[in-house]
Structures are given as C-alpha cells and as structure tokens.
Amino acid sequence: MSTEPNPTRFGSGQAVRRLEDESLLAGAGRYADDQSLPGQAHLVFVRSPYPHAAIRSVDTDAAAAMPGVLRVFSGADLVAAGVKPMPGAAAFKRADGADCATPPRRALAYERARFVGEPVAAVVAETLQQARDAAEAVMVDYDDLPMVVDLKGATAEGAPLLCDEGTGNIAAEIRYGSADATAAAFAQASHVVKLDITNQRVVALTIEPRTVSVDHDATTGRLLIRMSTQMPSGVRDAVCNAIGLAKESVRVVVGDVGGGFGMKTGAYPEDIAVAYAAHALQRSVKWVADRSEEFVSSSHGRDVESHAELAFDASGKILGLRVHSHANVGAYATGTGVAIQLLLGPWVQTSVYDIQTIDFHLKAVLTNTAPTGAYRGAGRPEAIFTIERLMDEAARQTGIDRVELRRRNFIQPEQMPYTIAMGQVYDTGAFESIMDQGLALADWSGFDARAATSAKLGKQRGLGIATFLEWTGGNVFEERVTVAIKAGATPEDDGIIEVFSAVNAMGQGIATSLAQLAVDAFGVPIERVRIVLGDTDRGDGFGSAGSRSLFTGGSAVRIGAERTIDKARQLAAKEFEAAADDVVYANGVFTVAGTDLTLDLFALAGKQPESEIFMESTSAVAGPSWPNGCHICEVEIDPATGEVAVVAYSSVNDVGRVVNPMIVRGQLEGGAVQGIGQALYEHMVYDVETGQPITGSLMDYAAPRADVLTSMFRMEMDESTPCKNNPLGVKGVGELGTIGATPAIVNAVADAFARNGLAARTPHLQMPLSPARLWQAMQPLSG
C-alpha cells in the first residue's frame, strides 16, 4: 500500500485545491448538454406571448406535418393523458382559513396562460432546427385577458384575478407576534423610525441554463433523466407524481452543474413535459433552455414591498418591530415561493438583536409574472436588508452612533441558547465580538481620512455596515450516505474509499469538502477518496439548498465514516483473533495494542465478499445553524453621473468550524458579488401597461461584472463559536455573503448622502441604486 507521509494535510482546516477543478478547467466537465444519445430527439417549447390569455385552441396540424417532427403536444393533450398539475403551497392558508389560492400549474398551460413565457405547447423533432421551425408553425388562438404584474395593481380594488379563489389576488396570508403588544410598545417609544422598503425582482443568472435529457429504455421502460438540478430526488418524485409512474421507473442523474443559486431546486413544468414526451414517444428526448427562455420562465427571486417600523426607548433600546409586507409570488403560488417570504424570512427578521415584541403581517400576492422561488439567501436577504436599513436610519434620526446603537441591542453570548420571538432557537453567537473584529479589519476609525482623499478627487465617499445572521439547514436534518472501502483489483491498485451522498455539486466545491472529512476519519491520502453525487439509484436525499450541504451532508459523511471504521474494526478483530477493543485504527492500518500485528484497511476489504467493506448510514443533526457576520464596505459616488464604485469591502464571518478556508472565502466573495448586483444593478422589470418583460435579456438586464470592485475583498472567518447542532461544529456559508452585501452597500450610499447634506433623502433610497436614480436623488429640489 502506498501511503502519503502526512495525509492529514488534506484534511479539514486545510486550503486543499478543489478536486473538481482539474477537469472543469481542462474543458472535461460533464454537463447535461454534453451527453447526447444516438437517435435522440429534440424538444422546443411554444411559449405564451401574452401575460394573461384564454387559450381557445392549439392548432398543431401544420407543425406536425413538417419534416422530422415526431409529435406536437398541447396542454389539452397532457390533460387527456392524465398528467397531473404540480402541487401548490398547501401548507399555507388565507386570512379566512381557506387553503392557499393558486391556479393549477401544469406542464403545459391549459385553458389559460398566465405569464409571458409560460409553455403552451411542445414540439419534438429529429433535430433541434426542425423542432424550432415547427414550433413557429404551431397556431395558438388566444383571447387577451386583463392582466396585472405589480403589487399595487394586483391588490387594487377590482383588479383582474388570476384565479377565482384568490380574492384580491391574495394567495396566502399570515401574522406573527402580537399586534396589540407591539402597538403598546410603540405608544411608549421615545423614537420611531419608519421605512418603505422594496426588494426588487431579480433573475438567477446561472452560466449553465436548465437542461433536461431523458432516455427511454426500450427493454424496461425506465426513464433515465440527466439534468442540471440541485435536487435530483425531488425532481424524480415530481415527475413520477405528475405522469403516474412508480419511483423505481425513473432515475435522475446529475453531472456537473454550472450554477444553481436556488433557481435549480425542485421540478419545473418543462422537466415534466420533457419526461412525458420521452415516455409517450418511447425514445430519448432533450431540451436545453436558451438564455431568453431562462429570463422569462425560470424562478425569479425577491420581489417584496414592506412597510417597516422600529420603536426605541430614550436610551436606544429596541422596544418593538413592525413589518407589513406584500410578496409578489408570480402567476402560481408554489410551496417554495410562499414559504420563502411567509416563513423563512420572518425566522431571521429580528436578526442579531434582542427583540421580543413583533407584529409581522405578510401576504403572498398573485400577478401575471413568472413565479418566484429560491434565489441565493431565499427570504433572509429581504428580511436582513429591512432590519439593517432600519438600524442605520434610526441612528441618523436619533443621533446615536450606528455602531453604538447596534451594540446596545445585540443578543449577548450569555443569553445563548436564545429563543427568538418566532420560536426559533439560536444555539450560539458572539455578535458583538464579530462586529468588533469587522471594525478593526475595515479600519473603521480611519475612514475620515479616506473620505477626505476622495473629496479632493470630486467623489463622495460613504461607509456602510451590516451586522446580521441567517438560518441554514433547509430544516431537513436527516441525511443518508454510503461508504464503501474497495480493495484494489490488481496488486498495483491500492484500492479506494467511495462515499456516496445525496447532496449535490453545483460549483460550490462540496465534493472536495466531503473528501477532506473522509480524510479526517480514515487518515488516508485524499487521492484514495472518491466522492459520488447526483444519482437517485444510489440514494435519496433532499439535495443541496439552504446552505445544508456541509452542515447536514458533511456531518453524515463524518458519522458514516466512523461507523464504517467501527465495522472494519470488528472484521479486523476476527482476522487478528483479538478483542475488538484491543484493535487500534490509524491512517489506513489496524494494529493490536501491545503487539506488532498489523493489517492494511484495503487488504482487509479484499478478504471480504465482493472485496469491499460497505456501510449504509443515516444520521441527523439536532437543528439548524445560525451563521452570522459583520460586513463593511466603502463606496465612492461620482456626483456628476451618480455612478457608484465599491472601493473597499471587508467582512468577518462566523461560519463555525471551517473545513476548507479557500472554498469558504470563495463562497463569501461570490455571494457578496451577487448581493452587490442586487444593490446596484439588477432588476427584472415588467411593463405595467402590457405585462411584457422589459429586461428579458443581457442586453437590458444589468449584472455585476469582474470589475465590480476596484480593490480586493477581505473575507475573514471566526471559528470561536462552533455550532452545537452538528458533530462538525460547522455552519452554512453558501448564502451569507449575499445576505450581508445588499444592506452594507445601500447603507454606504446612504451614509455618503448624509455626509453631503442629503440625510433627508436617505429614507427614500431604493434598489437598484443605478446611476440615473442616484443622480436624480442628488439634484436640488425644484421650487
């Protein structure tokens, strides 16, 4: 057996280079569109050009007669075949106790189309070009119906309804806390700060578009679905439920994924339509979305308008928080889209502050737009943006220093475990310490000198801060893994440890982190660990969402590895004819205490049936994790143009124990760039008069680029308060940067305004802070 002199240098805590990168950088990645089968047909969707229309008929005759066309499917065809609608948000209610109101969402629209881009028909042909040509020949007879795309219009009296059950277009509604107790707190307050806050709609721009390739096995009738998704088991279950297939008849395999950001969680109507086409035609079918399709039909993020108020006593102590919000969930109220705004966001709304008196009143509103769903942070960025904007505005209005105001209201370490007003329990947190480290890292006290230098260049410099936490874990705390110690097939083959997990790779480096945890347990070189992901035949699981991959999946790998070693120790004891308690394991070798007897781990595997030691392990963590941070940034505004430059960005982040600091920094930096994108650039806009998307391509939708920062990020981690809810002590990290960036950036712009005589205008700043908006906001008031 070849051994690494120090295998632990590849274990947790080390900046191990990502194992995934070699093939990806060499162009050898295996994405869903990279795999084509002989005789594979291609599918193209016909999409609604109307935001709201009755579908009177779908004439497919001309298209079906075109060269290469195999079949044209309409929504009526799928209904006749018994394809079921997708489930809605059944767990949520309306104010009167009735179930969540939503139109039935189908793989292809039936009777009514409810947003521009909704799939209405599907053309399957021998080649992609033939399918595209035939799609243009499908004649759909629409009757244009009244529509509404914005929250104000949707909730106005007499607004057109998306479904009869949704009175006022309210899909679901919920209240938390006590309105009476909060009103009493506000009545005795010395200071009340109020803000109207908009979290605009954004698009998840994954490099790889959604791709679905379905192979039909002529012998067994099974469907093999290769696709770009974060949740293969969830997609399989949705397909089986819609089409009426047994789970055993569908396998979902995921290779490399070119970004997910939450947008690739769960099933889409297109996934079901492609699977049904392959099932009905009994041949392989592929669909690859183009960028235009992604803009109008993938899940959008955010789109929440809130009226928020904070009450303070004379000393600056928070007495109560009131937040009333309307969330635009689009044309169909999905379980994910509703839960994000009516449940997940409220869980972190009070953030790191000691606030027990709350009044939250939240409504999910239907509009003729693409449905909203998970997007990096999923509800937590909206909630944290609201509370952090309130804190900074309160500091300006009360005259209390914003750092001091936060300090007076932090939950203290001695209060842990701390039960928030929403009933969630924070297990650990040292929020003041994290802020103090952040202030030092950013050289907070030296800002005035930097602002003076900017002023000499004609720029207005602002300093922004966000102190916050988030919830991670997806509230799916159980995870299954399998561990197989495989003996070498030849004397030259040293053998390998193969670990399967149902968490999923999507560019975040999870395979490397899981391999490092296996190295921790087994003490073998990382080259002898193989991580296998993304195959529903190998095992079921929730997948990767809610920053749970390492928190839950990594903990399962650690526990599964330890159980495997225990099983191997029993087997070794039999070979040694010794008591198991006397058998010691270290770095791939078993020994018997007090003797010179040794047995290699892989040689032991070779003595077993199938030449492997196999363990199936299911374990659970005790609860969610609550990572937190202090993000500080500096911006320069050019008053002549309104252009904003981010000139410094520093953060200290409590993500518990760090397995791979290089990967963690990459997650923090990437998340921050996406948060900066929302703060300064991104906005998915629908025309309120026509319902048409205005920013439906990268020609019109502004996204952050590589030059978003003129200096380097400084992202540091604090490991002094590990999570108590999992054996690794880790906390989720994938979304933290996104959550901290938006309030830090906007607070920095507001600070620049206040320092330059425009404090009265800071409450009215709304994202995205585009040059045109800021230039207008900086102009003298007329008259």
Strand, helix or coil for residue 707: helix
pLDDT score at 37? 87
Dist. CA 389–CA 224, nearest whole Å:
48
Domain annotation for the chain: domains and CATH numbers: 7-30+474-620 (3.30.365.10), 32-145+205-297 (3.90.1170.50), 300-472+624-777 (3.30.365.10)
Q: CB-based contacts of 686: which residues, under 8 Å, 6+ apart?
A: 51, 149, 150, 369, 692, 693, 694
Token pair in block for residue 180: 């009476």
Q: Tell me the average pLDDT of the chain.
A: 95
Band of residue 544 on the pLDDT scale cut at 50, 70, 90: confident
Q: Mind listing the pLDDT tens digit for each residue in 425-469?
A: 999 999 999 999 999 999 999 999 999 999 999 999 999 999 999
Q: Is the peptide bond before 768 cis (omega within 30 degrees of 0)?
A: yes
Q: What percent of the chain has pLDDT over 90?
A: 90
- Comparing 85-89, 490-494, 629-633, which segment has the lowest mean pLDDT? 490-494
Strands 418-419 and 583-586: unpaired
Dist. CA 506–CA 257, nearest whole Å:
5
pLDDT at residue 730 above 70?
yes
Q: What percent of the chain has pLDDT over 70?
A: 98
Mean predicted confidence (pLDDT) in 746-759: 97
Dist. CA 87–CA 98, nearest whole Å:
16
Mean predicted confidence (pLDDT) in 101-119: 98
pLDDT at residue 493 above 80?
no
Beta bridge pairs of residue 250: 223
Dist. CA 499–CA 529, nearest whole Å:
8
> Where do the DSSP E strands lie in 22-106?
41-47, 53-59, 69-74
pLDDT score at 710? 67
The pTM of the full predicted model, rounded to 2 decimals, is: 0.96
Beta bridge pairs of residue 649: 633, 713
pLDDT at residue 286 above 50?
yes
Question: What is the number of residues in the chain?
Answer: 783
Please report the DSSP string for 418-478 in residue order.
EE-TTS-EE----HHHHHHHHHHHTTGGGHHHHHHHHHHTT-EEEEEEEEEE--BSTT--E
Token pair in block for residue 349: 């709304």
Q: Mind listing the pLDDT tens digit for each residue in 376-433?
A: 999 999 999 999 999 999 999 999 999 999 999 999 999 999 999 999 999 999 999 9
Total Cβ atoms within 10 A of residue 439: 17
The amino acid at residue 698 is L
Scan for tokens 């040689």, then name that residue. 603
pLDDT score at 473? 82
Band of residue 5 on the pLDDT scale cut at 50, 70, 90: low
Mean predicted confidence (pLDDT) in 565-570: 97
pLDDT at residue 2 above 80?
no
